[in-house]
Amino acid sequence: MAATALTLQCNTRIPATPGGIVGHVSGPGPHIITRNLTPDHTGLPEGGHSFSDFLAIMRHGKDFDHLHPNCSSSVTDNCYFSSPGNEVDGDLLQVMPWPTFRNMTDQQLLAIWTYLSAIPCNANSSSPYPWVHNVC
């Protein structure tokens, strides 16, 4: 339960939009948008991710949405700038503290995923960020 509390804290302590477990962090680099963790119309949490996907997120920081890529000549908006000695892997979740959770057992992570599956879907349709909208 402590891990569930920390997961929810990370997705709610940032200024949340009304009625949603989403928020926005300002500062240097891209605009970091926390994800809508509520189930979608499939009943699967975090936008319809399977438990296998959830394990990849929690153990390896995989960003299935690729919302914050590395900057390049063709990607110049909402991206991470990397330089020698300051490399950033835009394919990994940068704010989610997944390294904290990576050594949890499958049973512990299943408990979190199951809890997230049980909370009500939040369409979050009023958010200005389309990637946090959810089809309930």
Q: Which pTM value belongs to this model?
A: 0.71
Q: Which domain holds residue 93?
A: 2-132
- Residue in 24, 22, 40, 44 with CA at minimum distance from that of residue 32: 24
Query: Cα–Cα distances in Å, from 89 out to 5, 71, 127, 134?
Result: 27, 10, 27, 26
Total domains, the chain:
1
For tokens 């299943």, what's the residue?
Answer: 110
Could you read off the pLDDT of 55-103 as tens digits, one per residue? Answer: 999 999 998 887 778 888 888 777 777 778 777 787 888 778 889 999 9
- Whether the Cβ atoms of residue 39 and residue 49 lie closer than 8 Å to each other: no
Residue ranges in the chain assigned as alpha helix (H): 2-10, 45-48, 51-60, 98-101, 106-118
For tokens 């490399």, what's the residue?
Answer: 87
